[in-house]
A and B are shown apart, each in its own frame.
Chain A
């Protein structure tokens, strides 16, 4: 963590006091502070240096769409589900898992049956114990077609026995391969060996639910603070359109490890407003757009966090021009990705030339980074691109070409799309028509395959190469490029079935698959791996960034040196 910048602290403190005086005391006023101090006397003793007031102030760019674990689909929901609920395992540092409700597990010889041993001291915030039945109920609910969950079928289908059939309405819910052997033993039967299942159990959709409470709330479940139940480090105590407040869950099984007494989250949609709030000390961390990076790069509280999220151009092979391999290769090679990340994004993002982020998965024996083993699968080279393009034009028997480009409507994506258009039009005779649409609409048009080129991104759902590579199998739900290669399909199939218990061979097969995808078949034109730039108060400590699941873990976070 960063060294404390005393002057800044003093200044901020002065400012915040001034502001507090101005605004006549903010919402999180007197009472809560008093309670907090009374409550954590012992804690301040054991970890000296920790401030007596452990309140974290954050913002989110949008509201929580739902706190129902079965229904959640977006980053904000998973973030706060992860802070208030413990699943079998929790996401730990470096993509490892750590104990949650499960203490450990055994895997049967055929890798199909996983038996989890649960702790017996975990309770729900209504006092009920957290048992294996809660998992059975939650998972059945997630794949039950009546629930209308999107992530349930997606995450469990093909992994847990019968999940797919149940989700399609072909089998009763009771046949789902999950069973409570006793209150504290959970038995899961998988459809096929799944090496990343442990990582999957940290995911929001796999969180337990208290049946009694959920059924009692019915339609109203998880709509407001009163209709929520928690078994994690924090409980949501207030929740409205302007934001939400989390307080420490005193009944949490691992409450001793939790330092923060309160987390306040406000909804702020404009980055510039969030930066201003940070400057006046009202939020403790802010994510910066490229425009602000220049100004704050030299600040001591500036930091960048690399994420395993990839962005690339999807090329619809139903388009005649893009069905030509040489044309796709030309598109890959003509874009100067270094300038893109250095000048346009300006936040530490990395140019990418593959379909796997760096620092995400490693060789099971040599510990080498997947990305490093495969290296860059192509290089930017305008001349080569022109040649490839000329060949493509010859093959297609055309002189000029016009293709559409589906871009985003945010300021950043508009700039990026203008840049990529310009780069692509270096190819002689190519005209690119940019169409800026809202995110949701881009997804809709992706589903319909109603696009030529599309600037798209993907973040991992679990820590395994499969989360990036199985996207592109024939008729995969997210493929939508028209790409269909028997060779590629069989590689992925093999990696997930025969080789599931041979980590080294599996890894190597997946390496080959990536080469085939990007280098030979040029299905995508990779652009960059995202980093995000933050201003981060140095007094906010031990917040860890996660590669999958909730973005941040606040369980161990604490405030030191704010006062």
Chain B
């Protein structure tokens, strides 16, 4: 196991290197400079500003510098915020995004699993239709529409929670709900499908025949086996939430990283785009690793280091 993890970590570094290279050259394809009002400057002056950002060097040199700096944890200086380090900007903003993402993920998947479970246990009953309907609705409304409606009715009309902004835990309630609705729907539907499949399998019939009661079977044998495919979707879902927060963060005026990401795209602020991309990448690779490790824990039939 230890050897396996070390090996995976080495791969991670290689992957990160490739991603950094890939994004770097990707960005060089795109137009955009640190000049926010180039139309007011003469060409000599523009050249001076570009030199300040090291953008006058040939691309291979820029690439080398970027990689060397990256190793030291320096992702360069933002174009739109003068003198501000990309690393600082990301670190300043990661908190709210992680908090929202985590809350939404936990609440969404747990509630979703429960809904899916209820559906599966009462297959084709009223409860099944009810929870399936909830999941479908949650999945069918674009998150920004749902967020807008939540904000207007729950925030303005009912006044239960703050309309927007960031600060106390109350401020996180509406964005968390808006964000959780999608993982909830996905988790519910996957759970339902998997549970139905598992509940139809032979070992469940055996367990039932041996006299284990219905709920015992569901929890002891069913849920555990149904979790595996669910875990596979959790990874993409988590990264989806990370980028997905940007819509929600915009609407609820949350000072998070997703919102900053969109802003950077709209202002061609490549150092931040690259930094955030790398950050998302590390985050995702870690999640994939955790999921692969979890597989082994949940289903002993899957041998991780097989063939090695």
A and B touch in the complex (CB under 8 A): yes
A residues lining the B interface (CB < 8 Å): 15, 18-19, 22-24, 26-27, 59, 62-63, 65-66, 68, 71, 73-74, 145-146, 148, 150-151, 153-154, 157, 167-169, 219-223, 240-243, 266-270, 272-273, 276-277, 279-280, 282, 409, 438-441, 443-447, 477-478, 480
| Contact B36–A65 (Cβ < 8 Å) | yes
A144 to B152, CA, bound (A): 50
A540 to B148, CA, bound (A): 28
Flag B164-175 by CB within 8 Å of A: 1 or 0 each: 111110110000
Cβ-Cβ contact count across A and B, 8 Å cutoff: 169
B32 interfacial by beta-carbon distance below 8 Å = yes
Given contacts A150-B49, A270-B251, contact A444 B33 (CB under 8 A): yes
| Contact B152–A276 (Cβ < 8 Å) | yes
| Contact B40–A150 (Cβ < 8 Å) | yes
Please name all residues of chain A whose beta carbon is closer than 8 Å to the beta carbon of B250 when the two chains form the complex.
269-270
From B44, B81, B148, B160, contact of A169 by CB (8 A): B44
B159 interfacial by beta-carbon distance below 8 Å = yes
Taking A157-B42, A269-B259, A280-B162 as known contacts, 13 extra A-B pairs with beta carbons closer than 8 A to each other, sorted by chain A number, are A23-B162, A24-B170, A65-B82, A150-B49, A222-B83, A241-B93, A276-B151, A276-B152, A277-B165, A438-B265, A440-B36, A444-B31, A444-B268
| Contact A277–B164 (Cβ < 8 Å) | yes
Given contacts A240-B92, A270-B253, A280-B159, contact A440 B40 (CB under 8 A): no
A254 to B34, CA, bound (A): 38
| Contact A22–B160 (Cβ < 8 Å) | yes
Please name all residues of chain A whose beta carbon is closer than 8 Å to the beta carbon of B81 when the two chains form the complex.
63, 65-66
Please name all residues of chain A whose beta carbon is closer than 8 Å to the beta carbon of B84 when the two chains form the complex.
223
Given contacts A280-B163, A440-B266, A441-B31, contact A241 B255 (CB under 8 A): yes
B52 interfacial by beta-carbon distance below 8 Å = yes
Please name all residues of chain A whose beta carbon is closer than 8 Å to the beta carbon of B52 when the two chains form the complex.
146, 148
Please name all residues of chain A whose beta carbon is closer than 8 Å to the beta carbon of B255 when the two chains form the complex.
240-243, 267
B68 interfacial by beta-carbon distance below 8 Å = no
Please name all residues of chain B whose beta carbon is closer than 8 Å to the beta carbon of A280 when the two chains form the complex.
155-156, 159, 162-163
A270 to chain B, nearest CB (A): 5
SS of B interface (majority): loop
* 17 pairs, A vs B, C-beta closer than 8 Å: A22-B159, A65-B81, A66-B81, A66-B82, A68-B83, A146-B52, A150-B41, A154-B40, A168-B42, A219-B83, A241-B92, A242-B166, A439-B266, A443-B39, A444-B38, A445-B31, A446-B39
From A71, A169, A440, contact of B32 by CB (8 A): A440
Please name all residues of chain B whose beta carbon is closer than 8 Å to the beta carbon of A277 when the two chains form the complex.
163-165, 253
Q: Which single residue of chain A is at the shortest CB-CB distance from B152?
A: A276
Please name all residues of chain B whose beta carbon is closer than 8 Å to the beta carbon of A153 when the two chains form the complex.
41-42, 45
A105 to B32, CA, bound (A): 43
Given contacts A269-B259, A282-B163, A443-B39, contact A168 B267 (CB under 8 A): no
Please name all residues of chain B whose beta carbon is closer than 8 Å to the beta carbon of A63 when the two chains form the complex.
81
From B42, B152, B253, contact of A477 by CB (8 A): B42
| Contact A440–B37 (Cβ < 8 Å) | no
| Contact B37–A223 (Cβ < 8 Å) | no
B263 interfacial by beta-carbon distance below 8 Å = yes
B80 interfacial by beta-carbon distance below 8 Å = yes
B252 interfacial by beta-carbon distance below 8 Å = yes
B106 interfacial by beta-carbon distance below 8 Å = no
Please name all residues of chain B whose beta carbon is closer than 8 Å to the beta carbon of A145 when the two chains form the complex.
45, 48
A430 to B1, CA, bound (A): 69
7 closest Cβ pairs, A-B complex:
A241-B255, A242-B255, A154-B40, A438-B266, A268-B253, A66-B82, A148-B52
B42 to chain A, nearest CB (A): 6
A223 to B31, CA, bound (A): 27
Please name all residues of chain B whose beta carbon is closer than 8 Å to the beta carbon of A409 when the two chains form the complex.
266
B29 to chain A, nearest CB (A): 13
Interface residues of B in 154-205 (CB under 8 A from A): 155-156, 159-168, 170-171
Please name all residues of chain B whose beta carbon is closer than 8 Å to the beta carbon of A444 when the two chains form the complex.
31-33, 38, 268
Please name all residues of chain B whose beta carbon is closer than 8 Å to the beta carbon of A266 when the two chains form the complex.
165, 253
Please name all residues of chain B whose beta carbon is closer than 8 Å to the beta carbon of A59 when the two chains form the complex.
253
A494 to B142, CA, bound (A): 59
A237 to B83, CA, bound (A): 20
B98 to chain A, nearest CB (A): 14
Q: Which of B33, B39, B171 is most buried by chain A, counting CB atoms within 10 A of its CB?
A: B39
A187 to B80, CA, bound (A): 34
| Contact A477–B268 (Cβ < 8 Å) | no
A145 to B41, CA, bound (A): 12
Given contacts A241-B92, A438-B268, A444-B32, contact A151 B37 (CB under 8 A): yes
Please name all residues of chain B whose beta carbon is closer than 8 Å to the beta carbon of A267 when the two chains form the complex.
253, 255
A465 to chain B, nearest CB (A): 18
A478 to B84, CA, bound (A): 28
B149 to chain A, nearest CB (A): 11
Q: Which single residue of chain B is at the shortest CB-CB distance from A445?
A: B31
Please name all residues of chain B whose beta carbon is closer than 8 Å to the beta carbon of A242 when the two chains form the complex.
165-167, 253-255
Interface residues of B in 15-39 (CB under 8 A from A): 31-33, 35-39
Q: Which single residue of chain B is at the shortest CB-CB distance from A219?
A: B83
| Contact B170–A23 (Cβ < 8 Å) | yes
Please name all residues of chain B whose beta carbon is closer than 8 Å to the beta carbon of A221 when the two chains form the complex.
83
Please name all residues of chain A whose beta carbon is closer than 8 Å to the beta carbon of B40 when the two chains form the complex.
150-151, 154, 477-478
Flag B267-296 by CB within 8 Å of A: 1 or 0 each: 110000000000000000000000000000
Please name all residues of chain A whose beta carbon is closer than 8 Å to the beta carbon of B263 when the two chains form the complex.
62, 269
Q: Which of A65, A240, A241 is most buried by chain B, counting CB atoms within 10 A of its CB?
A: A241
Please name all residues of chain B whose beta carbon is closer than 8 Å to the beta carbon of A19 when the two chains form the complex.
159, 162
| Contact B268–A154 (Cβ < 8 Å) | no
| Contact B48–A15 (Cβ < 8 Å) | no
| Contact A440–B268 (Cβ < 8 Å) | yes
From A18, A148, A150, A219, contact of B159 by CB (8 A): A18
From B36, B151, B167, contact of A150 by CB (8 A): B36
Interface residues of B in 29-72 (CB under 8 A from A): 31-33, 35-42, 44-45, 48-49, 52
